[in-house]
Amino acid sequence: MEKAIKIYYATPITGAWGDDAPKAYVERNCGKAVKNLVLLRQWFPDVEWYSPAENDTLVQVLFFAKKLSREDILWADCEIIKTCDGLLANCWETSDGVEKEVAFASEIKKPTLILGSYADFDVADGRITMKQIEDFICIIEKAIEKEDL
C-alpha cells in the first residue's frame, strides 16, 4: 500500500494577539481551522491532514497556565512539519506563527501553498480553492516521486 501524502495545515491560532491572545479568541480560530479540515478531508480523502488547531487542548492548557511558551509551541510545530510532505497555510489574519512555519517549511524545502484570506472554505469560491490545492498536491506527488528515484 502506498503511503498517504501528509500535509501540515497552518492557520492562525493566537493570530495578531500573540502571547496576549484571549482564550475565546484562540478557541474561535481553532474552530475555524477544524471546520476547514472537515472540508479538506472530504475534498481530498487520500491526504493525511495534520493541524495544530485540531490537537491543541493540552497545548492551550499549558500555554494559558504560562507553563509553555509560544516559542516552545512553534519549535514543536516545526518538528512536526519535518514529518510532513508539504505545508498548506491559510492566512485569514496576521500570524507570526504561520509566518514562521511557512519560513521553516521553505527553509527545509517542503512544498508550500499559501492561501489568502479564506476564513471559511465553504464561503470562499470552492472551485478556485480546490483547484489550487489539487495543483499543490500534484507538486508534492512529483517531489515524492523524485525522492524515490
Residues 30-89 have pLDDT tens digits of 998 998 899 899 989 999 999 999 988 898 899 899 999 989 999 999 999 999 999 999
List pLDDT tens digits, range 85-128: 999 998 888 899 999 999 999 999 999 998 876 555 654 555 55
Mean pLDDT value across residues 130-142: 90
Distance of CA 135 to the CA centre of its chain: 17
Provide the whole-model pTM.
0.89
**How far apart are the C-alpha atoms of 136 and 143, rounded to whole Å?**
11
**How far apart are the C-alpha atoms of 149 and 139, rounded to whole Å?**
16
Which sign does the torsion angle of CA 127, 26, 102, 9 carry?
negative
